[in-house]
Structure 1
Amino acid sequence: MSFDDLSRDQIQALLDEQTAAYRHLQNSGLKLDLTRGKPSPEQLELSNELLSLPGPDFKDASGVDTRNYGGLNGLLELREIFAPIMQVPVDQVVAGDNASLAMMHDNLVFALFHGTPDSEQPWGTEEAVKFVCPVPGYDRHFALLEEYGIEMVPVPLSEDGPDVEAVREAVKDPQVKGMWLVPTYGNPTGSVVSEAVAAELASLETAAPDFRIFWDNAYAVHHLSEEQTKTADILGLCVAAGHPNRPVIFASTSKITFAGSGVCFLGSSTANIQWYLRHLSKRTIGPDKVNQLRHARYLQTTEGVHALMDRHRAILAPKFDAVVRILRDRLGAYGVASWTEPKGGYFVSLDVLDGTASRVIELTREAGVAMTPAGAAFPYGDDPRDRNIRIAPSYPSPEELEVAIDVLATSVLIAAAEQALAS
């Protein structure tokens, strides 16, 4: 019973029915927020033990007092826990403060002002700087580029990663200095960069000798089932391809422990790490090592990270299941939308009929459900087909989430019916 099979009268009847349901929801006084992938209070409580750590002993494993200055590259015992997750040698990992976004910002700004170890001149002195941006993608990546006037070159993203041929064509331009990638459970589609695609990206011949892959491994351990997808070893692949300085790998505990009080990580080649620390030393004398120490004592091992994430999964997986179930039940018969069913990460990506996403978001907002603006997953907030919507199921309670997705599904049907009747 797709829209193509319905007569005009049937579509009008559907619109009337859904509008009545929408008015009822609108009058319920809803105030729900699905805008960002925030951990729920229940998830944050999993790590409350951190609040009693590190205890009276403030010295790290080497005997250094973490309350004092220094230690620019972060605590060794914490880097040893996360190096295997990042697939980077521990001496090529830096542990920082709470936001990997800050490390991304610094890498970008340092390159603009100083150039990278492979640059002939600072990026900022180039006539233009461009980044390849797989779409749909992460809006904060795009906002960072826009902040510094870096031109974005969108390329299509599929289930196994970006369109390699489109990337290959883009990097023929010497002004293209890098690209963004969320390799595992991408934001917002849940895509996973395959080993084959990662190998091709590692071996690309680029016009810019200082081309970088900003590999944002934000969701490497954020599985939604017992199947644990392995992230491609981008550093190893780039080393094998003769481009050891190409990957710059980011990670954090933001959705593992406390989102606002976690630890971030940077991994790359020895040359890149030395370059980063040299410039970082002008900005800070060292990270919050007390926070790093309490994380090391709480997590203890890499296996401890995975065990904690199993507890996160028990909270998150039913929410994702509910989103998919409601979308399937409410929209599946009409052929007006498609959606991802991710195996991990923090988002479901919903595609509605071309030209209706902005109207859907308007309707949800007017019914009391805040969602990320339509087009947010595209450079400059411009989805050329006006169809993509990002759903963030993590923060609301299960009951609130079901109501929110019901509002969303109702809004999708109203927008689709309005468009059909207007044509």
Structure 2
Amino acid sequence: MVLQYQAIMDWKMKFFSVQAVPLGDAVIENIHLCPQQANCLKQDQSVVTMDFSRNVLVEPGTTILYKFDVLLQGIVRSYSIMVHRLQGDETDIRHMIVEGTTLYPEFQSSVHEYRCLLDVGTETALLELHLQDAGQTILASADVPIPVSANDNITLLPNDHPGRLRSPPMRLRRLREEAFGEFQYPNRYLQFPVPLGSKRTVSLKVSSSDGGHFGYYSMELARDSCGTSEPLFDVVSGACVRFCNMGYWADFEARRCKRCPDQCISCLSAHRCVRCPQATVLERFVLDNVSGSCIAREKTLWERNPQRTMSTALAALCFTVFLCGLCAFNIVASQGRKPQSKKGSVAAHALVHERIHSAQGGYRGPARPWNVGNGKAGGEGHSFLRGPEAAGYAKVSADDVDLY
């Protein structure tokens, strides 16, 4: 069972208080503190008896020992809390972690210079800083990356103990201050990109909580490069490759695969496209061999909606044919309703009377030619002989024929 605890107060914190809840039938008694350097045996030390309801003031840079006893079933246990308030001039940080790599030498607050080697797949160095005081501020700067020389021993640093961040690098906020309880502060996070096969120096300036003191840290960050068998770095897979994927081109000077320009799915360089993307609903892409780029051109109405355009054209054609047929029908119907001429009507009546007389045997004149085709007397056509039998007609009486 832990009976001794330690607590560190920030420089801006002026007092603290303790809350303890007894377990079961336990009784808390003999609550007291030793305000002078937490030494109750020190000469001229005044032991103050108090209760949990009082706040305890702490001067900057001092330490107070807070003690109380717990009596349970005749057994007494003494608990002690060592509380220290920071001076406000601290410029060191408690800890520093670089994600995925090992610091050399191992971190100590008193050591201010470090080196580390990043893996090929780590493009950005992510630092997590644990401050001593929440009031400290960090100012960071980085030099321009330079290539790593062949005889630089930083490339020989092993990565035996890669660092792991203790909390995710996100925006955190300080917890709301309560009458009792602890305060929690977020860590500080810094990011620095490191190109392939290069190194850069990061400088950190730590300002104390009172703003009058400063501390400095430096870190040399290096990144390994790809080998000769696989000289290009693929940003998608995060590994070294021999050839770049579709949509990327090989930049051997930078030793990495770079993305092709927009509206280009295959290219030889940043200014030379060899294949354009597929056409969309509204646009089609044409490769310009002179400029080496893909030009977007707007599609025509027929290209955008070929099926709709075809159906509209067929519907218009069918409607036109329907109108033409309707007009032709009206013309034919109007011609069929015209009255028969007077001359034709008289000739028809004469023909009927002559056929009736022939059927009764009263007509004995010579045979007259009749034109069956147009119903007119005279002209070319079949000639009817005397008598109805020669003409192919049956005998009928005058009562069977209605001329009107």
Greater strand share, structure number: 2
TM-score in same-fold range (> 0.5): no
TM-score by length of 1: 0.16
Calculate the TM-score normalised by the size of structure 2. Answer: 0.16
Q: Which has the higher helix share?
A: 1
Q: Which has the higher contact order (CA 8 A, sep 6+)?
A: 1
Q: Over alpha carbons, which structure has the higher Rg?
A: 2
